[in-house]
Amino acid sequence: MESASVTLGHATGDHHHGPPEANKSSKVDQTTLGLLIFLVTEAMLFGAFFASYFFLRVVVNDGPWPPEPYELPVIVAGVNTAILVSSSFSIHWALEGIRRGNRKAATLAMAVTWLLGATFLFIQLNEYIHVGFSARDGAFGSIFYGLTGLHGAHVIVGLILLTIVNVRLWRGHFGPKAEDHRGLELPGIYWHFVDVMWVIVFVTVYIL
């Protein structure tokens, strides 16, 4: 009887070699979940830099902060923050456009997002040139360039991703279905993370 059932199983192709398939109980797409886990690790990296910043400010420093003669361009940084935050709205507009089948709106919004991101990076680099101190000028200079430079590196990666998305949009890629615009949605999630991190950096370094 047992041999008959085994024979029947082979005959119908009802057998499986290797480990069983993973249970896909999560409602989150695997690629999206992987990106979210990666962003958690990046948030922890930023957390280490923030911890160093507050250690220098609260424990090591015994005078005004930033220490003299350092002075940060708060207004310029505030305008730059508004530019980067605006890019979050434009990339959301791009995603909504492709979801509704409006490729023209998505292409325009993604181009605007790239321009806003590039403008932010240009202003940040210009600030480095004119701020009047370098990363070698004391603990404040080191942590300032370390924290803002870490964010700037993430902006550069984000702009590379946005460039790829723009090219794909111009070539007619992406569609209204979720699986057809994953390549736009994931860079959007990363870009939102970059924006949120900058708001925290701005408030911590320039405002507090």
| Tens place of pLDDT per residue across the chain (208 aa) | 444 444 444 444 445 565 555 555 457 678 888 889 999 999 999 999 999 988 888 877 777 777 778 788 899 999 999 999 999 999 999 998 888 888 898 899 999 999 999 999 999 999 999 888 888 878 888 889 999 999 999 999 999 999 999 999 988 888 777 666 788 889 999 999 999 999 999 999 998 8
Q: Please give the pLDDT value at position 180.
A: 67
Query: H or E stretch including 91?
Result: helix 74-99
- Per DSSP, helices labelled H in 100-176 are 103-130, 138-170
- For residue 69, whether the previous peptide bond is cis, meaning omega lies within 30 degrees of 0, is yes
C-alpha to C-alpha distance for 164 and 161, rounded to whole angstroms: 5
Chain-centre distance for alpha carbon 58? 29
Angle between helices 103-130 and 182-202 (to 10 degrees): 30
Query: Phi and psi at residue 80, in whole multiples of 5°?
Result: -65, -35
Q: Kindly list the distances between the CA atom of residue 120 and the CA atoms of 7, 22, 93, in Å, as whole numbers in the listed order.
A: 68, 43, 19
What's the CA dihedral at 192, 196, 199, 201 to 10 degrees? -120
Q: Please give the pLDDT value at position 18.
A: 59
Q: Give the predicted TM-score (pTM) of the model.
A: 0.82
Q: Please give the pLDDT value at position 70.
A: 79
In degrees, rounded to 5, the angle at the alpha carbon of residue 53 between the alpha carbons of residues 56 and 125 is: 125
C-alpha to C-alpha distance for 117 and 58, rounded to whole angstroms: 33
Q: At which residue do the structure tokens 């736009």 appear?
A: 184
C-alpha to C-alpha distance for 33 and 30, rounded to whole angstroms: 5
For the domain made up of 29-207, the CATH class stated in words is: mainly alpha
For the chain, the structural domain boundaries read 29-207
